Structures are given as structure tokens and as C-alpha cells.
Amino acid sequence: MEYIAKAEVGAGGSVGMVFNAIPNTFTDLYLVTSHRHEANVIDGQILVNGSGGSRRALYSQPTTSSSVPPAAVTSGIIGIFGNIGSRTADTFATNTVYFYDYNAAKTHSVTTRSVESNYDYAAFQGLVTSITSSSAAITSIEIRSTNGNLAEGSYAVLYGILKGSDGVTTVS
């Protein structure tokens, strides 16, 4: 796994973080984020090549005994979640997002694991499967809130993953 680039939100916040001109020299892409929304919304979204897609999500909270049923398919969104603004100050949600075979000229499956942080209780967790509407090789990825800014200190790091020497293994 090789570091490609990092984006970080500065003072005053920004609605999104964008990686453009992503090199085509890897097999897969791996995105790690730590981000928080200033507004009281948990939903963020990812744009691939400037477009959304559709997603389906599973949600849970560790202090809730019953699981929440899968959400309906949501069109327009590739899923990612951020800490909502009402959570404990300076807590951030962590997300890992995997983009498989990103150089292929086809729609791309995207897997997101998301966990909020609130120190002492009830962090929201989500597991999301998405598919892009773009069917081109991925050259641009944007992470953004659906309402309001991402808080200062939010960041995203993009990594590239190379296939193994056997031509099959996807991690080196």
C-alpha cells in the first residue's frame, strides 16, 4: 500500500475534500477519513468522477440491543458518514473506503466501513455497499457532507494498492 495524497480541512471548514488527477498506476484504491460535520447530519457522500451512485447501508449502535434494518437503496449517494455536530466536541468519525479495480472502464463497487466517535456511548456504526454511476476509470474522488461544512481538522488520506507478483493477489 502506497501513500498518494492527503487532504485536510482548515480554519472555517469546507464542504468537501477532493482528490483529482489520481494516478492510474495501482490496482485498487484505499481511502481513510477522519471527519466531522458542523451540522447535525450524519450522511456524507462520495462523488466519483464528479458523480454519485447508489448505496444500501446497515446501521447499528453498540448500546442499542436491536439492530436497525437495512435502509432502502438510496439513489444518488455513494455512502460515507461523518460525526454529527452535536457529538462531543472534537470527536470525529472514521471511515475506510475501498475502491476495487479502479482503472477499469465500468461501474465500480465501493465498500465503506464507518464508525462515529462519542467517547462514552452510542457511537453510530455503518456498513455500506455502493456502486458508482460513473463507468469510467476513477480519476477523481470527493468526500463531502450533505449539509453544512466539514469541521476544521477533518482529513482524508488516499492510498494505492498494487496487485501481487502472481497477478492475482490484490495486496502487496
Partner 1 sequence: MADRPTKVVIDCATGERQILELTDEEIAEREAMAAQAAQEEADRQAAADALQALKDSAKAKLIAGEPLTAEEADTLVL
- What is the contact surface with partner 1 in residues (CB under 8 A)? 4-10, 12, 14-23, 41-43, 45, 59, 66, 68-69, 71-72, 74, 76-77, 142, 144, 146-147, 149, 158
Q: Residue 19 or residue 110: which is nearer to partner 1 going by CB?
A: 19
Q: Residue 46 or residue 110: which is nearer to partner 1 going by CB?
A: 46
CB 98 within 8 A of CB 114: no
Q: Residue 110 or residue 141: which is nearer to partner 1 going by CB?
A: 141
Question: In the bound complex, what is the minimum distance in angstroms from residue 55's beta carbon to partner 1?
Answer: 10
CB 141 within 8 A of CB 29: yes
CA distance 88 to 126: 19
Residue carrying the nine cell digits 460525526: 83
Question: In the bound complex, what is the minimum distance in angstroms from residue 170's beta carbon to partner 1?
Answer: 20
105 φ/ψ angles, rounded to the nearest 5 degrees: -90, 75
